[in-house]
A and B are shown apart, each in its own frame.
Chain A
Amino acid sequence: MASVTYDQATRVYPGQERPAVDALNLEVADGEFLVLVGPSGCGKSTSLRMLAGLEDVNSGRILIGDRDVTDVQPKDRDIAMVFQNYALYPHMSVADNMGFALKIAGTPKAQIRERVEEAAKILDLTEYLDRKPKALSGGQRQRVAMGRAIVRQPQVFLMDEPLSNLDAKLRVQTRTQIASLQRRLGVTTVYVTHDQTEALTMGDRIAVLKDGLLQQVGTPREMYDTPANVFVAGFIGSPAMNLGSFAVADGKANLGDTHIPLTRTTIDALTEEDKGEITLGFRPESLDVATEGEEGAFAINVNLVEELGSDAFVYGQLAAREVAEHVTSGAGEAQLIARVDPRRPPMKGDKIWVKVRAGEAHVFSSATGLRLPA
């Protein structure tokens, strides 16, 4: 097992000027589960394929442990692309299905059996080893496929959107299985997905990419609580964070009738480039229902109420129409999302007053998009 290091690693596709991955610096610790996440075209798959040896590294280096693998062929990198090929052979026993790659590599029989048995124990397949795959359930077959990668004892597991071909229910099941198995095995794993929920639920740490640039890397909690910039703020979290552009005056962020107090530290951090504006973000669950006239309270016209039992979400617009379009969220342009008490949800068409809970607003420079101290 080993760490993985991207050192200024860059990939420029032939005929293109902008790098697909631009000077990526990233350290994955030994045994860590790191998720690369971002919208399509962000460079996450390219980054993974650079580690796999499928994409050239135009500048910079990639290390597995202390070994520079930048110019090493894929099969000599001691990595396993899990799930790439999960076909099982019907006439071979489960043990042979798991161990055949070792047999090809000329590993002694006794050693193959030993490694297969060890993997089977972890995967809960011991009693099936001498059966044919046909006798197994779907979940067990899937574990045999995992077993094939495990018996090779690679330094690093690579997974590129392994769940994309599964239906929603199975995706959630498999997600949990992969995450818990990875923890049991302790093999360094790099996992690519476009789904931020998958990233939050599976990764020890998450690296968010956009346009080939690393935006932020951190634990799920860090990414959620202290997004480093507006992009990460809007990308991580479901429902998404509300984000709005506000004018700064009198120590407050102002938008129409809405006035949200800012701290001294935040105001001091503003620069001339911000032109007296600030981007304010608040998560749906950071809103409390308030009353008209309360300091910092603002009104929302309710367009839709989504009741989930444990939660209820209001989708609406700032009641102050002339400024409504300045606030957006994952629900779409000019939409705002608020979590409300599921036992007392408002009705569609209602007007409700809410305020951002103290200390739960996220502030970003309107010029750079970077997080400002609160």
Chain B
Amino acid sequence: MPQSLQITAAAPDPALLDLPWHVPLEDWPASHLAALPRGISRHVVRFVKLSGRVIAVKEIGESVAYREYALLRDLNRLDVPSVEPVGVITGRTAPDGEPLNSVLITKHLKFSLPYRALFSRNLGPDMATRLIDALAVLLVRLHLTGFYWGDVSLSNTLFRRDAGEFAAYLVDAETGDLHETLTKGQREYDLEIARVNIIGELMDLAAGELLVDEEMDTVAVGEMIVQRYQELWDELTGTEEFGATERWRVMDRIRRLNELGYDVGELQMTTDLDGTTVQIQPKVVDAGHHHRRLMRLTGLDAGENQARRLLNDMDTYQAATDQQGEDEEFVAHEWLSDVFEPTVRAIPRELRGKLEPAEMFHEVLEHRWFMAQNAGHDIPTAQAVTSYVENVLRHRPDEEAVLGLDTATLAAIEPD
């Protein structure tokens, strides 16, 4: 009995109905695709054009599709950097009545870069380190929320530029599980999976002669995830003990966490019986300290490091315009209309697909600094923008939609 197509989505786009769901994803006509597949992935995945957007469609089993959809929704609700789920489609049948696998649809994350696209360009000697850093930050954040990933890897992650650094986003939640809190065993095991997968992925790039840095010690780079993760985890959750006279250390701990980009939701403070030593331990920390502050002040949605950079520039503006006593809301409003918006608007329209606005702004600031260094005096922003556009931005690739399918993995289990 042919089943009818069933679409589960929070905000279904009627245009979904126009896609050829009766055809196996592998055979979809190029006219629907936003990019041609460049490799084989564990599942069949395609980037598809839909109502002027790009969506990623993945063919998987029905129960797995619903599970991953629900998990991604949870992660989005918890504000964890991850791809946004669009919906699940089940009940697909080919014209001959043969049932087809269900699909999970996610939004393509604009301006995101798969790790292979990053490694195939020369982006500086420490790029591997910066990617691993970003992944460690993501993993800590997931673990703080109680998410066990089960398949941490570079290929299950997308990277976005974040003021010269990278911010990592979870792409594949298939093996994941959301818990109240994670056990040490779950965290350690996730970390071990991450370590082995990253080394495997780097060894694979090396075997394919795709590593720009041919001398890279893949094992050492992979080991870094463990160290970075532990450092960050300890800073965020560790207990600190000091004498009762050193109370400034409470504020100092909070400030350190803020600088790392975390707000402290709950800090536990205990003293010993005679009150000579104090113990503090952060119990609830929320990532996105700068992101939230920038959002509150300006409505701009930027990455954590971008937000930090923009807020710094705002502080500089406040000092330069002699408004220290002014409410920061007023200053933020002025900065937005006098500094940020004119800069972004000065970028020619045809070049705006190259980088996110906040990232361009960050690069303009960098560029202005280098120009000032060379000239030995301050450079007006308008002049810096013109120079940046002509000398830097014009020569960069478009990054709004780098749709290199994850080619790192081959399906290990599929019918002969």
Interface of A toward B, CB cutoff 8 Å: 13-15, 52-56, 73-75, 83-92, 96, 100-101, 103-104, 133-134, 137-139, 141-142, 144-145, 164-167, 169-170, 174
Contacts and interface: CB of A to CB of B under 8 A. Distances in A.
A14 B181 contact: yes
B175 A84 contact: yes
3 closest A-B pairs by CB = A91-B208, A87-B409, A89-B204
A140 B195 CA distance: 26
Nearest to A86: B412
Interface string B171-203: 000010000110111101100110111011101
A85 B192 contact: no
Nearest to A162: B413
30 contacts: A14-B181, A52-B185, A53-B189, A54-B186, A73-B185, A75-B188, A75-B192, A85-B151, A86-B413, A87-B153, A89-B204, A89-B409, A90-B40, A90-B407, A91-B208, A100-B199, A100-B200, A104-B195, A104-B196, A104-B219, A133-B412, A134-B40, A141-B413, A141-B414, A142-B413, A144-B412, A145-B413, A167-B415, A170-B413, A174-B413
A84 B152 CA distance: 11
Contacts of A166: 61, 413
Nearest to A73: B188
Given A13-B180, A55-B185, A134-B40, A91 B204 contact: yes
Given A15-B180, A87-B155, A138 B411 contact: yes
Contacts of B222: 104
Given A104-B219, A138-B411, A165 B64 contact: yes
Contacts of B39: 90
Nearest to A138: B414
Contacts of B339: none
A84 B175 CA distance: 8
Given A88-B410, A141-B410, A167 B61 contact: yes
A144 B411 CA distance: 11
Nearest to B181: A14
Given A53-B189, A54-B185, A145-B413, A89 B207 contact: yes
B205 interface: yes
A73 B192 CA distance: 11
Contacts of B412: 86-88, 133, 141-142, 144-145
B36 to A, nearest CB: 17
Given A87-B412, A89-B203, A90-B409, 18 more contacts: A15-B180, A53-B185, A53-B189, A84-B175, A86-B412, A86-B413, A89-B408, A91-B204, A91-B205, A91-B210, A92-B207, A100-B203, A104-B195, A104-B222, A141-B412, A142-B413, A167-B101, A169-B415
Nearest to A101: B196
B416 interface: yes
A145 B412 CA distance: 7
B411 A96 contact: no
Contacts of A75: 188-189, 192
